[in-house]
Chains A and B, each alone.
Chain A
């Protein structure tokens, strides 16, 4: 029995995007409604899929009923569906913030938003390496336009760098894909996992070159050191809802690394087993440390949040780089936390910057803003969340990562880097908070917004905070799920079976 629900998260945003194009600019209310309905439906779909795969089932869907490895398969396992859910929830919050006015700064915001979701959902579901490239391009093309949405000098400059570096990345991706096809004769990920174990000795060099090239590409998407330089400028200069949505973009790279290097180049890969073990952990530690240096050195709040994104990628990859079940599970718990926290912080930074007038988000003493105390409390909560102090989800995430590292041989270094960089982050965020809220000059005339307006504006930020609190409240069951997910990833036989044999209507 085939389950058509697997392809629905890909078809729905595509359909919504095309319909939005037909609605044109005039029907703004309808556009907003359609966009919101589509995103809500995606949340529903992700929840339904989660219920379907929670017991350990792996759903495969042969597109066009062409059987793998000749056709393209979409595969939904625990990890894919987890990513779908995180994306859908994040995009709901980002979209509801955009509805406050950022969507009319330029044309076709909603269409681009839906196409971005199409690319993201597709990348998480696909079981084919070339198809992954195609979905990457879809999400990138939409992200280029979203990044530039609204225009402006700084945005254009940052956008140019972002586009060029990603185009180079796409070329490298194709070189890697071509090499894998030329040596192993397949691009289906499950089939690759089978074939890679039987690589003839003369091809081992080529296959591992392709595997490392792929790692380079995914590391670029994930903003892992030394390929992170595009991120701070791009994220700090784009509009706030787009920056919030982009919090998931770096996680696409993380997802791909987790998928490809457990499934294809994992422990079962024969001559190229555990290809990036020993490479990932040092890079992750360096990314965390350098990212936190950036956080300390930032001169603008949004730039600081962008560097916090880089640092959180470092923490995430430390967890994944441990290459144990507990480590991967900690990463799977940490991933939604860092996504929601970064997105919420971007939105809050934008709300604060709008109220500081000419000063914007610069770290300089300005006059006090309306509802100073409320914003101070929100900023403080966000800071606690993102730096990883108790009692919020950042603390649990960091604790799980360090707990997973206890039996690792390089524990002292991991512990040292994580704790020192957390402290650096704490100092930096405390400094920016005290500068903006404690040292504010008394205001002569403050522009007051009504409480209702303010509540509407803050709703997405509060929702993201609540999601993080939910991560704390349900930590037990989420951790159980994460451990099961890690288990599923480390035993790829079930994935291979599902992708290669099922999914065809007979």
Chain B
């Protein structure tokens, strides 16, 4: 399970980094989204992967699931959403004002 998650994380991050380095705004936005997926998943599994363990203290239980990363990841998801929305609007505005979707706004077709 850990290996699978690590593989997913690595793939998401690699795709994200590759897309961010592209010269057009749309792939860059997509890359940022991939990176934020990767980091959300990463935060979630920092509480370790457990199945069926309670997150609150009960009698006679020794193994617990860590609830804190879920709170952290919720915050991170909300912030990530806001940022993605903002950067999409900005990319559209840049396209409208600069006449093309190159990140430097100077590309001639």
Contact = CB atoms under 8 A, between A and B. Distances in A.
A355 B38 CA distance: 50
Contact of B46 (A152, A153, A170, A181): A181
Given A134-B79, A174-B39, A181-B68, A153 B98 contact: yes
Interface string A179-197: 1011000000000000000
A164 B76 contact: no
A157 B97 CA distance: 9
Contact of B94 (A134, A144, A160, A182): A160
A281 B70 CA distance: 38
B86 to A, nearest CB: 6
A21 B47 CA distance: 39
Tell me the dominant secondary structure on chain A's binding face.
Answer: helix
Nearest to A134: B75
A122 to B, nearest CB: 14
A148 interface: yes
Interface in A82-104: none
A325 interface: no
Contacts of A130: 72, 75
B72 A167 contact: no
Interface residues of A, number: 27
B79 A156 contact: no
Chain B interface bracket (under 10, 10 to 19, 20 to 34, 35 or more)? 20 to 34
Given A148-B90, A161-B103, A178-B43, A171 B36 contact: yes
Interface string A153-166: 10011011101100
B72 A157 contact: no
B32 A164 contact: yes
Given A156-B93, A156-B94, A160-B94, A175 B42 contact: yes
Contacts, number: 81
Tell me the dominant secondary structure on chain B's binding face.
Answer: helix
Nearest to A173: B39
Nearest to B34: A171
Given A130-B72, A144-B86, A156 B28 contact: no
Contacts of A350: none
From A156, A159, A161, A177, name the one whose CB has the most chain B CB atoms within 10 angstroms.
A156
B28 A164 contact: yes
A365 to B, nearest CB: 28
B83 A160 contact: no
Contacts of B79: 134, 137, 170
B39 A141 contact: no
A137 B86 CA distance: 12
A167 B39 CA distance: 12
A167 B83 contact: yes
Nearest to B48: A182
A164 B87 contact: yes
A159 B79 CA distance: 19
A164 to B, nearest CB: 6
Nearest to A181: B46
A6 to B, nearest CB: 22
25 contacts: A134-B75, A141-B83, A141-B86, A144-B86, A144-B90, A148-B90, A153-B105, A156-B105, A157-B94, A157-B104, A160-B91, A160-B94, A161-B103, A163-B87, A163-B90, A164-B28, A164-B32, A170-B79, A171-B32, A174-B42, A174-B76, A178-B42, A178-B43, A178-B46, A178-B69
Given A153-B98, A160-B91, A168-B32, 14 more contacts: A130-B72, A137-B83, A144-B86, A153-B97, A156-B94, A160-B105, A164-B32, A164-B87, A174-B76, A178-B39, A178-B46, A178-B69, A179-B46, A182-B46
The 5 A-B pairs of least Cβ separation, nearest first, read A182-B46, A174-B39, A157-B105, A178-B43, A171-B35
